[in-house]
Structure 1
Amino acid sequence: MENSVDHGSGPSPDTTAADARAPGASGSTTLTELEPSFAALFPSTRYFELDSKIAGARFSAWVTPPPQYDADDAQKFPVVYQVDGNLFFPATAPFHQAGTSDVIAPQRPFILVSVGYSKEDSQAWTWLRVRDFLPPNEAVPEVMRQAVEASVQYGKLARDEADRYLKMFDTPAADKFLGFLENELHPLLAKAYRIDDSDVGLWGDSYGGLFAAYVAIKRSDLFNSIGAGSPGILEGSQIFKLYQEALAAKTDYSGRRLHVTLGGREWTDPSIYQWLTARGASELLAKTSQNPLPGLHVSAELIPLETHLTSTIPAWFSFLRACYGRKG
């Protein structure tokens, strides 16, 4: 694994200093603009990039240990993989180490691994996640193709790049991305960190939530605590086909749990999310209630007042409370 810590990956400033006129006896002062290093922003995190032979792509991983990690060289810790790392790592990592000392809802200490796309591909994560998070043969709604075409129309995406992404939409490969996590990334991290292989979690939201549901129903050998936030499960989804196959096979899911969340306004407010996320999530939960998979523990939370966008971070903390909450 190549350790390529990104020191200051933000945009280059137009100027290095600016004069700010402030009232007062001093007359003026100087406002100096700098680019803080990655280590200054996230002192406990290490950043890696690696090429996947299975998925045929380059991915990134931000690894943040719990505050207790260095206290005992013999102690192993659970690990939680969080997809869409380019989006969620900056929003959740600052709270990670403090979570174990929350006096109201303390978390069990775990190693956080936020998985995303390399620096080179980071601007295209919106489209690449369709390739990586959708199960094979999963239908991509027309609204996603329209979003690509709109990006071309407004000059945000080149035509050749758009065609490449649209071609990806026809052959989604969540099985390959899962293979990357299980057989390439995790073994490397298990060598570098003290990981408890019996306690491995996964969380994703939106299409990441669809991927999480896919991993849960597929019954991954690695992941046993899975959070699916606002999963983009459409009518006729491969998720339901996998579910029926698992029921017929009487697959044992003992020791595994699935936590599903949905923003309250995804369900109540007239919008595309009533059929993009709310309907499918409701149908999945109905199946787990009426025809449960043997041994699978399922929990759910409707997050009041939140939309598809604003429910994302609350969904993360809901998952942690459900699966990594510490009693007492």
Structure 2
Amino acid sequence: MRWLALWLMLPLTATAQPSNEPLGPSVLDTGSTMVRTERFTLPAEAGAEHEIGVLIPRREAPAEGFPVVFALDGQAVLELLTDEALTALPALPVIVTLGYETDRRFASEERARDYTPPSADGRPVEDPRGRPGGGAAAYLGLLETEVIPRVRTLAPVDMDRSTLWGHSYGGLFVLYAASRPETPFTQYVAASPSLWWDNGSFLARLETQVDRWPGRPLTIHKGELERARASHPDTPDAQRLAQMRTALPEDALEGFVSTLAAAGVAVDYEVFPGLSHGETFRRSIRFLLEGMDGAKRSRH
């Protein structure tokens, strides 16, 4: 199919390991025949400001509003959303890119701070590379109180058909948000979530609360070769990360999915053949967007 060929031709470097190579212009800069675009920034306590892009289909909105996808790592997602790729999608939703004001694909310091859960007692957690983390609660609050209200002034969106998507640390944030009693999204897609975070303690907390899991659909994606093709840099901080990752059982994600399903949680699990952790980024967001059918779904 044409849409599949287009997405597969996109550069792999955009979604493999974080790169210092500056990004080129996105549709937020160049404009698009398929979407009209809006963007706004919000201040951050440290590091780069939050930069939010809003891609709105150039067609009449349904009476209830467009379905909407909120995508973490917005800069890397925008690199994939060329006008040609947008044209190839079967049903285009509003796409909100949750990024930072930077020319990097992955804002390493900022995403470590914002996407990762705090400790069990709510304290910040440092990631294996020494970056401050554990700010997921504050970031979720920012999405609820600042980002979503602003998006709703810019685009006719139907929050009863809203999806939160994220990969790696972003996938971890999706699980954090999905497990909270009250969050504003209807569906959650966690790609390659970093379940080794904080020596697996957050995963253990998730597993103890599955009987109280909010009734909302959850999808989990994984690359088949994430462990087999994992990188092993020789710097001390990268070794700490690799050790934490390796200490987690290889089937931990499958076990978590089984625990959710046994508790009656509506969970879908998709494994992408032959793909590494980084390559799953592109396949996962494509898989989500190509599956948008515009069907009305009720909020759980």
TM-score normalised according to structure 2 size: 0.71
State the one-letter code of the partner of 2:101: S
Q: Aligned residue for 2:158? A: 196
Q: How does 1:179-328 map to 2 (within 5 A)?
A: 179-234=141-196, 235-247=199-211, 250-251=212-213, 253-254=214-215, 256-269=216-229, 276=245, 279=248, 282-292=251-261, 296-320=265-289, 324-325=292-293
2:97 corresponds to 1:114: yes
Shift of 1:112: 0.3
Q: Answer yes or no: is 1:83 the counterpart of 2:45.
A: no
Name the CA shift for 1:268/1:325 in 2 (closer, same or farther; >3 Å).
farther
TM-fit CA distance, 1:278: 11
Aligned to 1:25: none
Q: Tell me, yes or no, if the aligned pair for 1:199 and 1:224 is still in contact at 8 Å.
A: yes
Match of residue 4 from structure 1: none
- Unaligned stretches of 5+ residues in structure 2: 1-20, 233-241, 296-300
Bigger relative contact order (CA 8 A; separation at least 6)? 2
Unmatched tracts of structure 1, length 5 or more: 1-9, 12-34, 101-106, 146-165
**1:98 aligned onto 2:98:** no
Question: How far apart, CA to CA, are the structure 2 residues paired with 1:174 and 1:93?
Answer: 30
Q: Is the 8 A contact 1:82 1:202 kept in 2?
A: yes
Give the Cα–Cα distance (whole angstroms) in 2 for the partners of residues 202 and 278 of structure 1: 28
CA contact (8 A) 1:49 1:58 kept: no
SS of the aligned residue for 1:221 comes to coil
Specify which of 148, 153, 174 is matched with residue 136 of structure 2.
174
Q: Deviation of residue 246 (structure 1)?
A: 4.9
Letter of the structure 1 residue corresponding to residue 86 of structure 2: H
Q: Give the CA deviation at 1:174.
A: 0.7
Q: Match of 2:49, as an amino acid? A: R
Write the distance in 2 (CA, Å) between the matches of 1:96 and 1:274: 39
Say what the alpha-carbon RMSD is for the aligned residues: 3.5
Change (3 A) 1:246 1:318: same
